[in-house]
Amino acid sequence: MKPYWFKSLSPQWRARLMRVGFNLHPAFRATGGRVMHVSPDFQHIRIKLPLLRRTRNIVGSMYGGSLFAVTDGAHPTMLMSALGADHIVWDKAASIRFRKPAYTTLYVDFRLPPGEIAEIRRLLAQDHETTRTYTVELKDKDDVVYAVVERTIYIADKKFYKQKNTGGDKCVASPEGAPPP
C-alpha cells in the first residue's frame, strides 16, 4: 500500500519514486537489471539488462534466468498504479522463447496499449475478473531480438476476489468464453 502522501505528488515525482523503488528492491536488484525510465502516466517502463559478471553464464552469454526475471513485475505494477487499490493484480502464467544467446546489454520496453485501462475497467464491470496477456522483447541497442517473454496477468475486483475465495455468495462471473450462469 502506498503512503497517503504519494498521491499528493506530481506524476513526474511518482514516476521517479517508482523507478527508484524498483532499482532498490532486493529481488529486482538481484536480476542485474536497472529501470531506466517510468513514464509519468505509468504506461511505459524501460529496463536495461547489462551483461555483467553476475548476469553471465559459464559460456559468457546472459543467463536465461536473468532475461526472464528482469521482466517480472513491470506489467502488474503498471496495472496496479492505473487501476488503484480496489483491484487484485498478479502474474498468472509466463513463458520465454530464447532467440539467440546475448553477449551484450539488452533493453526491454513495457507498454500498456492505448485504451487498455478503459477496456480492463469495462471487462471488470461486466465479469469482475479478467486475464490479459502481454508480450515483451529483450533487444540490444540495434533492435535485434534475443528473447520474447509472454506474461498472463490476472485482474479482479478486490471484493469479488475475496468473495470468490472465501466461499461467500455465489460468484456472478463466469470463466472466460463461457456464458454467465
Model confidence pLDDT, tens digit, residues 74-87: 999 999 989 988 99
- Write down the pTM of the prediction: 0.83
Model confidence pLDDT, tens digit, residues 79-134: 998 998 899 999 999 999 999 999 999 999 999 999 999 999 999 999 999 999 99
- Say if residue 126 is exposed, middle or buried (CB neighbours under 10 Å; 0-12, 13-18, 19+): exposed
Model confidence pLDDT, tens digit, residues 2-32: 556 666 788 888 889 989 999 999 989 999 9
What's the CATH superfamily of 4-166? Answer: Hotdog Thioesterase (3.10.129.10)
Output the nine-digit C-alpha cell for 43.
504506461
H or E element in which residue 35 lies: strand 34-38
Tell me the DSSP string of 83-149: H-TTEEEEEEEEEEEE-S---S-EEEEEEPPTTHHHHHHHHHHHHSEEEEEEEEEEE-TT--EEEEE
- Bigger pLDDT: 109 vs 1: 109
Asked if the model's pLDDT at residue 181 lies above 60, the reply is no
Look at residue 172 in the predicted model and tell me its pLDDT. 53
Question: How many whole angstroms separate alpha carbon 152 and alpha carbon 134?
Answer: 6
Look at residue 174 in the predicted model and tell me its pLDDT. 52
Look at residue 120 in the predicted model and tell me its pLDDT. 97
